[in-house]
Chain A
Amino acid sequence: MSYTLQFGQIWPFLPRLLEGAVVSLQIAVLAFCGGLLIGTVCAGVRSFGPRWLARIVGLYVVFFTNTPQLVQIYFLYFALPDMGILLSSFMAVVIGMTLNAGAYLTEIQRAGFESRRASEMEAAEVMGFSRIQQIRYVILPHVARVLFPPLSNQFIIVTLGTSMAAVFGVEELTGEAFNINAQTFRSIEIFSVTAGIYVVLTLAASVGLALLGRAVFRARTELI
Chain B
Amino acid sequence: MHHLDITGLEARYGEHTVLSGIDLTVGRADVIGLIGPSGSGKSTILRVLMGLLPPVGGTVKLDGTAVNYADAAQVRRLRERIAIVFQQYNLFQNMSVLENVCVAPVKIKKRPRREVEEEARALLAKVGLGDKLKRYPDELSGGQQQRVAIVRALALHPEILLLDEVTAALDPELVSEVLDTIRLLAKEGMTMLIVSHEMAFIREVASRVVFMAGGRIVETGAPAQIFDAPVEARTQDFVSKILRH
Contacts and interface: CB of A to CB of B under 8 A. Distances in A.
A7 B106 CA distance: 61
A201 interface: no
Nearest to A121: B90
A126 interface: yes
Interface in A108-166: 117, 119-120, 122-129, 133, 137-138, 141-142, 144-145
A125 B52 contact: yes
B108 A117 contact: no
Given A120-B90, A133-B108, A142-B93, A126 B79 contact: yes
A126 B92 contact: no
A218 interface: yes
B103 to A, nearest CB: 6
Given A133-B108, A218-B136, A141 B76 contact: no
Interface of chain A: mostly helix, strand, loop or mixed: helix
B108 A123 contact: no
B109 interface: yes
Interface string A90-119: 000000000000000000000000000101
Interface of chain B: mostly helix, strand, loop or mixed: loop
Given A128-B79, A133-B108, A137-B107, A123 B52 contact: no
Interface stretch (B55-63, B81-89, B174-182): B81-89
Interface residues of A, number: 20
B104 A129 contact: yes
B152 to A, nearest CB: 8
A119 B86 contact: yes
Contacts of A144: 94
Interface in A184-199: none
Contacts of B52: 122, 125-126
Contacts of B108: 127-129, 133
Interface in B141-168: 152, 156
B103 A137 contact: yes
23 contacts: A117-B93, A119-B88, A120-B90, A120-B93, A122-B86, A123-B86, A123-B90, A123-B91, A124-B92, A127-B79, A127-B108, A128-B156, A129-B104, A129-B108, A133-B108, A137-B92, A137-B103, A137-B107, A138-B94, A142-B94, A144-B94, A145-B94, A217-B94
Given A123-B92, A218-B136, 19 more contacts: A117-B93, A119-B86, A120-B92, A122-B52, A122-B86, A125-B52, A126-B51, A126-B83, A128-B76, A128-B104, A128-B108, A128-B156, A129-B104, A129-B108, A133-B107, A137-B92, A137-B103, A141-B95, A144-B94
Interface of B: 50-52, 76, 79-80, 83-84, 86, 88, 90-95, 103-104, 107-109, 136, 152, 156
